């Protein structure tokens, strides 16, 4: 019987231990920045937050304090516009992909939707500039909304599709069996059943849009004053952070951290909610 | 009377049929719109950059003078900056991402794998602007006071580490980008590794292979998928704007030192687009956006085709 080469065996075991450790270590290294950024933002941001921060307007240069009330409203309006333009398209496209998309055309659309999600947000901003700002001859919230809509479409479309596909086939069969036409079954039975999942998926797309800065820089531009007019430049949380981070005033930098903290908390809440709402469903599908 | 009944049913059938047809066509129109959007974007940018395309032609890509005052625009410095910062990011992020993917798909028990995956995904959810803010106030000062002086002292003989410790520069951009592309590369790599059938692992274990030897086999099976994941990460790095703009230094010059300030394609658009005064200036910036668009589309198409084909291949067999 051939004896095991102990030396070689030990070396293989050592190598195994080294590589396993390296792999585990890389997880630690990868997650460190998450905690660094989160806790630093928390520490810096919380000191900048008070009621004034949410209900007051930015103060002129040189004065301490002030708030970002207009940026919160601005971001909400911009996202509202993004949803208004983007969601109908996404939901109908998602329905098509889920219910009729099992063909070459569906595959192509699915593919291009994924590709669209890889287009840099700054490029989307440039397109919105060409499509809206140039014809209107003015920076406007409308242009920002168009940019955010284009950015939301890929995620929202694919989530709608996935969520509709999760509705059991028996629902469709039951509806068709009692004589409901297919379109009615889709709109009145399948869609409401999938609504919970779609809503959370859409929230995820919204959270991502809320964190976008680049496409707003030259569409919605930013505004230091109160404005709810969608035909004019509008403030947003992210552009506020950008302007205040670059500014050479310590008080402004502090407020940038405050705004970043608000943004990050909003986004994490949505992400964690999405995780919990979809967890059960994905499990069922996998098993 | 039978004939009447027949005509009623046919009528009814016809109406439901029409409803379905209308609905299907409507939803299809929206799907078509999503598909067409990619081409519409490309078309609009070609139209928007016509002036610059005509004026500079291919020279736009090879000249390095970016001078808005003299109305001379060459994109070489920003292309260089984008390339260097993205490749640096990949250099840092790739080994880590593969390590994370191996951990998630091969090593971690199920109870640990889920929370770790979630943490990595959360990293992807942090907005670019927050990365940038952290970059300006934490990363850049740290690089300026500790890392860069150390590099200059100990590795200053290398041309890539020559110069003055500004903090702002290629190195800062590369590190921030590495953190940002890590989640996408590792989560797609994990999916690729998971798609490889367990029979491969079982066969290796049965022959007495160690965990690492088995993992090596799995990795070589998933090679092309890992390449796809890398290309997707590259696509993300190339187009990343805010974080890079805030730390790269924004100077349109080509320098071989990683410590020097540079500029990237996305940054030049972010910084100068709203202030572009002449139509040629705007047009040149739109042309840069067009290049970014084409590059990211190509990267994404190749990467997704690779990832799709590998996950499909292992699903069917």
pLDDT in tens, A66-112: 778 889 999 999 999 999 999 999 999 999 999 998 999 999 999 99
Q: What is the per-residue pLDDT for A125? A: 95
Q: What 3 state SS string does chain B have?
A: CHHHHHHHHHHHHHHHHHHHHHHHHHHHHHHHHHHHHHHHHHHHHHHHCHHHHHHHCCHHHHCCCEECCCCEECCHHHHHHHHHHHHHHHHHHHHHHHHHHHHHHHHCCHHHHHHHHHHHHHHHHCCHHHHHHHHHHHHHHHHHHHHHHHHHHHHCCCHHHCCCCCCCCHHHHHHHHHHHHHHHHHHHHHHHHHHCCHHHHHHHHHCCCCHHHHHHHHHHHCHHHHHHHHHHHHHHHHHCCHHHHHHCCCCCCCCCCCCCCCCCHHHHHHHHCCCCCCHHHHHHHHHHHHHHHHHHHHHHHHHHHHHHHHHHHHHHC
Q: What is the per-residue pLDDT for B18? A: 85
Q: With an 8 Å Cβ cutoff, are A120 and B239 in contact?
A: yes
Question: B160 and B37, same structural domain?
Answer: no
Question: B84 and B21, same structural domain?
Answer: no
Q: With an 8 Å Cβ cutoff, are B45 and A123 in contact?
A: yes
Q: With an 8 Å Cβ cutoff, are B24 and A41 in contact?
A: no
Question: Which of A52-66, B85-99, B131-145, B166-180 shows the lowest mean pLDDT across its residues?
Answer: A52-66
Domain holding B272: CATH number?
A: 1.10.3720.10
Q: With an 8 Å Cβ cutoff, are B126 and A183 in contact?
A: no
Question: B66 and B21, same structural domain?
Answer: no
Question: B99 and B195, same structural domain?
Answer: yes
Question: B232 and B103, same structural domain?
Answer: yes
- pLDDT average, residue stretch B112-141: 92
Q: With an 8 Å Cβ cutoff, are B16 and A111 in contact?
A: no
Structural domain span for residue B19: 2-48
Q: So what's the ipTM on this one?
A: 0.90
Question: B290 and B232, same structural domain?
Answer: yes
**b/e code B124-153 from CB counts within 10 Å (16+ = b):** bbbbbbbbbbbbbbebbeebbeebbeebbe
* Tokens at B147, concatenated: 């890392």
Supply the DSSP symbol for A239.
H
Decide if B9 contacts B268 (C-beta within 8 A).
no
pLDDT of residue A1 exceeding 80: no
Question: Which of A120-124, A227-231, B175-179 shows the lowest mean pLDDT across its residues?
Answer: A227-231
Q: What is the per-residue pLDDT for B145? A: 94
The phi and psi torsions of A64 (rounded to 5 degrees) equal -80, 160
Cβ of residue A207 closer than 8 Å to a chain B Cβ: yes
Nearest to A40 among B138, B182, B289 (CB): B138
Q: With an 8 Å Cβ cutoff, are B45 and A126 in contact?
A: yes
Question: B214 and B92, same structural domain?
Answer: yes
Distance (Å, whole) CA B144 – CA B138: 10
Question: B66 and B181, same structural domain?
Answer: yes
Question: Which of A32-46, A194-208, B2-16, B213-227 shows the lowest mean pLDDT across its residues?
Answer: B2-16
CB pairs under 8 A between A and B: 266
Substitution target in A16, A97, A119, A146 with the highest count of B β-carbons within 10 Å is: A119
Residues 6+ apart with CB under 8 A from A27: B99, B100, B103, B104, B116
Decide if A145 contacts A78 (C-beta within 8 A).
yes
Quick one: which H or E segment has residue A210?
helix A191-210
Question: B192 and B293, same structural domain?
Answer: yes
Which of 66-125 (A) contact B at CB < 8 A?
Answer: 88-90, 92-93, 95-97, 99-101, 105-106, 108-109, 111-116, 118-125
Question: B19 and B81, same structural domain?
Answer: no
Question: B248 and B124, same structural domain?
Answer: yes
Question: B103 and B71, same structural domain?
Answer: yes
pLDDT digit string, tens, across residues A238-287 = 999 999 998 888 888 988 999 999 999 999 998 888 887 766 554 444 43
E-strand ranges in A90-247 read none
pLDDT digit string, tens, across residues A169-204 = 999 999 999 988 888 999 999 999 999 889 988 998
**How many structural domains are present in chain B?**
2
Q: With an 8 Å Cβ cutoff, are A15 and B210 in contact?
A: yes
| B74 min Cα distance to partner chain A (Å) | 19
């Amino acid at each position: 019987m051939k004896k095991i080469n102990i030396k070689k065996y030990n070396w293989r075991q050592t190598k195994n231990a080294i590589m396993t450790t390296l792999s585990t270590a890389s997880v630690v290294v990868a997650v460190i920045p998450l905690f660094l950024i989160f806790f630093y933002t928390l520490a810096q941001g919380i000191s900048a937050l008070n009621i004034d921060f949410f209900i007051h307007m930015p103060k002129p240069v040189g004065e301490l304090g002030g708030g970002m009330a207009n940026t919160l409203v601005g971001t909400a309006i911009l996202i509202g516009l993004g949803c208004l333009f983007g969601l109908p398209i996404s939901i109908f496209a998602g329905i098509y992909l889920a219910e009729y998309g099992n063909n070459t055309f569906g595959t192509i659309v699915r593919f291009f939707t994924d590709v669209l999600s890889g287009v840099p947000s700054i490029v989307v901003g440039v397109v919105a500039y060409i499509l809206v700002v140039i014809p209107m001859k003015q920076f406007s919230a409308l242009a920002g909304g168009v940019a955010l809509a284009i950015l939301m479409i890929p995620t929202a479309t694919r989530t709608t599709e996935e969520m509709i596909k999760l509705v059991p086939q028996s629902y469709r069969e039951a509806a068709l069996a009692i004589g409901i036409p297919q379109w009615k079954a889709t709109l009145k039975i399948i869609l409401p059943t999938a609504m919970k999942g779609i809503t959370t998926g859409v929230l995820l797309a919204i959270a991502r849009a809320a964190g976008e800065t680049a496409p707003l820089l030259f569409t919605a531009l930013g505004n230091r004053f109160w404005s709810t007019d969608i035909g004019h430049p509008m403030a947003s949380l992210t552009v506020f952070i950008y302007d205040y981070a670059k500014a050479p005033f310590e008080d402004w930098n502090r407020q940038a951290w405050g705004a970043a903290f608000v943004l990050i908390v909003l986004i994490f809440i949505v992400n964690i909610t999405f995780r919990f709402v979809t967890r059960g469903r994905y499990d069922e599908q996998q098993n | 009377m039978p004939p009447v009944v027949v005509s009623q049913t046919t009528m009814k059938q016809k109406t439901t049929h029409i409803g379905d047809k209308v609905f299907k066509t409507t939803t299809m129109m929206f799907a078509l719109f999503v598909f067409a959007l990619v081409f519409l974007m490309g078309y609009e940018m070609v139209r928007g950059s016509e002036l610059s395309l005509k004026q500079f032609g291919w020279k736009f890509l090879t000249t390095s003078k970016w001078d808005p005052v003299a109305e001379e625009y060459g994109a070489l410095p920003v292309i260089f900056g984008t390339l260097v910062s993205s490749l640096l990011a990949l250099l840092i992020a790739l080994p880590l991402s593969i390590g994370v993917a191996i951990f998630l798909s091969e090593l971690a028990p199920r109870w640990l794998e889920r929370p770790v995956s979630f943490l990595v995904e959360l990293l992807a959810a942090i907005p670019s602007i927050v990365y940038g803010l952290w970059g300006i106030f934490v990363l850049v000062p740290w690089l300026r006071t500790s890392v860069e002086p150390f590099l200059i002292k100990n590795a200053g003989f290398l041309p890539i580490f020559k110069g003055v410790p500004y903090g702002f520069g290629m190195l800062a951009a590369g590190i921030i980008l590495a953190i940002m592309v890590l989640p996408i590369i590792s989560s797609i790599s994990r999916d690729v590794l998971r798609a490889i059938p367990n029979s491969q692992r079982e066969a290796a274990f049965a022959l007495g292979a160690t965990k690492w030897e088995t993992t090596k086999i799995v990795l070589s099976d998933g090679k092309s998928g890992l390449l796809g994941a890398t290309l997707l990460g590259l696509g993300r790095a190339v187009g990343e704007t805010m974080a890079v703009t805030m730390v790269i230094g924004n100077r349109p010059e080509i320098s071989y030192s990683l410590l020097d300030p540079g500029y990237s394609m996305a940054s030049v658009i972010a910084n100068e687009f709203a202030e572009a005064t002449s139509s040629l200036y705007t047009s040149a910036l739109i042309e840069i956006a067009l290049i970014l668009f084409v590059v990211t589309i190509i990267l994404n198409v190749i990467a997704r085709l690779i990832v799709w084909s590998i996950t499909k291949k292992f699903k069917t067999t």
